[in-house]
Amino acid sequence: MNAPLSSVNRSIATGALWLVVFKFAERGIGLVSTLILARLLLPADFGLVAMAMTLLAVLELIGNFGFDHAIIRKPDADRLHYDTAWTLTVMHGLLSGLVLVALAIPLAGFFNEPRLKSVIYVLALIAAVQGLQNIGLVMFRKQMQFRQDVTFFLVKKVVAFVATMWLAFTFRNYWALVGGTLVSRVTGVVISFMMHPYRPRLCFKATRDLLGFSRWIMVNGLLGYLIERGPDYLIGRLAGATSLGVFRVAHEVSQLPTSELLFPIMRAAYPGYSLVARDAEKLKATYLSVQEAVLLLTLPAAVGVIVLAEPLVLALLGPKWIDAIPVVRVLGVYGAIKMFQSTNNAIFNVLGKPYVNTVLAALECVIVLPLLALLLSHGLATAAWSYLAALAVAVPTAMALLSRQLGLRAAERVRVTWRPLLATGVMAAALEMAQPALGLVSSTSNAVIALATLIPGGAIVYAGTVFVLWYAAGKPPSAEYRFITATTARVRRMRPM
């Protein structure tokens, strides 16, 4: 199938809009959850759950064969593919549960934390339940029906939030986090069968066809796990639960712009890439359009987190998390640069070359883990620089490979990046100059006031600078143009007749 480029771009934009709205709603729920949990629980509670989740995460990644990617990019996927994907996922979930039960005691001994045993037993149940989710949900994405995709995730999030809050106020310990995760997974399975009429059956006939592509996705997932979660083993073992809790929460805060804005855009972009994958020029044009939108929307948010790390941590988490501030700043830079890598990865997958991502992830992995272990004795913030060192090698390599694959010229990249980059720099400078004028941020209340002033101010400076640069460039048909056109059309439709 070779869809018209304008239709594909509209579908991507519509899907991204739905998913961005969902992510903002989800983050709103998550923000309220974080504000409450950070005050009811201790850093050690978060660290304990992070220790247990290291094992569940690696098992889930072993089973992350990327069957959804394989089905979406395969134009002739039929029932055999869907049923085989579901069957293999169910089997993996059950096997993961057994492995968790078997390793509960050894892992508790490794971390010298006896409370881990009971937590891991619950995680075993979570692993088994997750595998039952209806594979029919993939059809929503394949057919670019993102509204249903959003509804599924949002309902699941709301139910999990209610359950977590009830558990937090009841137990006031790590069981709130564990119980909330269990409720989320069970709810996801139930809702998946309520929302989609597809009823999967046990089948193995398409195993070879699916695994031919998906084995690389699995390896990529494992390497990604080592990059993202491997440090948890090192920090938990060498520095303890409190340090691990600080690092994990700092990582979450620093990656907010990436997870909340980049995820929905790329989730919508991948099916669009698949529709034009056989036309090199259309694929290049679509990639540049997505890259432009990603930078325009996410880069200022990522840099804003770096500049406003202190008031953000104090306002969201409270004074007892002050050690997380320098870690947020370093990992925020990592998140800002990682955006480029994420848009590159999707192209390699849709072209049927996921092994390129494997090589790039392996390159990151062999830099991050040894360097982090070496730097950990100098503090968490210093150790976090290992992530930046890895990207300094991996990102330029990925860009060079992608430029060769798509025939991208440097001038084409500059054309879609210079305005967001320059406007973000202006915004960051304005925020840096404005913070001293507001006085020292010494308490949660002062931090909230500072954020209430700086965030809208930064947004105005950024939007104004982008518009001026776009106008000075001759008003090209870019992401800014599409945004202005869509907004104007929506306002006109809202006017009374």
How far is Cα 207 from Cα 83, in angstroms, rounded to an integer?
10
What DSSP element (H or E) covers 415? helix 410-437
Q: What is the largest CA-CA distance in the chain?
A: 71
- Indicate whether 38 pLDDT > 50: yes
The percentage of the chain sitting over the pLDDT mark of 70, rounded to a whole number, equals 85
Using CB atoms within 10 A of its CB, is residue 134 exposed (0-12), middle (13-18) or buried (19+)? buried
Q: Is residue 96 part of a domain?
A: yes
- Cα–Cα dist 288/478, whole Å: 10
400 is a domain residue: no
Is 441 part of a structural domain of the chain? no
Pairwise CA distance, residues 315 & 255, whole Å: 17
Q: How far apart are CA 16 and CA 263, in angstroms?
A: 9
Mean pLDDT of the chain: 82
Which residue in the block uniquely carries the two structure tokens 């202190």? 310
CA atoms within 13 A on the CB side of 320: 12
User: What are the angstrom distances between the C-alpha of 322 and each of 309, 311, 318, 445?
Assistant: 10, 10, 7, 15
Amino acid at 475: K
Per-residue pLDDT band at 294 (split at 50, 70, 90): confident
Q: Please tell me the total count of domains within the chain.
A: 1
The reply to whether 31 falls in a domain is: no
Using one digit for the tens of pLDDT, what is the confidence trace for 316-335?
Answer: 787 888 888 999 999 988 88
- Cβ–Cβ under 8 Å, residues 285 and 4: no
With 90 as the cut, is the pLDDT of residue 348 above it?
Answer: no
**Which has more pLDDT, 73 or 303?**
303
Confidence (pTM): 0.66
Instruction: Examine residue 461 and state whether it is found in any structural domain, yes or no.
Output: no
pLDDT of amino acid 39: 79
Per-residue pLDDT, 140: 80
Between helices 309-316 and 444-472, what is the axis angle to 10°? 130
pLDDT tens for 364-412 read 899 999 999 899 888 888 988 998 999 889 888 988 888 888 888 888 8
Give the pair of three-digit tokens for residue 315. Answer: 């306002």
Q: Which residue has the tokens 């597809």?
A: 198
**Domain hosting residue 136, numbered range:** 41-211
Query: Which residue has tokens 């869509």?
Result: 486
Q: Would 367 be classed as within a structural domain? A: no
Beta strands in 58-124 (DSSP E): none
Task: Decide if pLDDT at 287 tops 90.
Answer: no
Instruction: HSE, CB side, 13 Å, CA atoms: give it for residue 403.
Output: 14
Band (pLDDT 50/70/90 cuts) for residue 442 is low
Residue 20: is its pLDDT beyond 70?
no
Contacting residues for 105 by C-beta, under 8 A, at least 6 apart: 117
Q: Examine residue 170 and state whether it is found in any structural domain, yes or no.
A: yes
pLDDT digits (tens, 9 = 90+) for 142-194: 776 767 777 887 888 888 889 989 998 988 888 998 998 899 889 989 999 99
Distances (CA, A) of 363 to 224, 271, 358, 389: 11, 27, 9, 11
Rounded to whole angstroms, the Cα distance separating 414 from 271 reads: 26
Question: What's the confidence (pLDDT) of residue 1?
Answer: 44
pLDDT confidence bin for 288, thresholds 50/70/90: confident
Q: What is the pLDDT of residue 275?
A: 73
Does the residue 216 lie in any domain?
no
Q: Tens of pLDDT along 111-142?
A: 888 888 999 999 999 989 988 999 888 888 77
pLDDT at 405: 86
Least confident of 12-26, 179-193, 210-224, 234-248: 12-26
- Confirm if 309 and 328 have CB atoms less than 8 A apart: yes
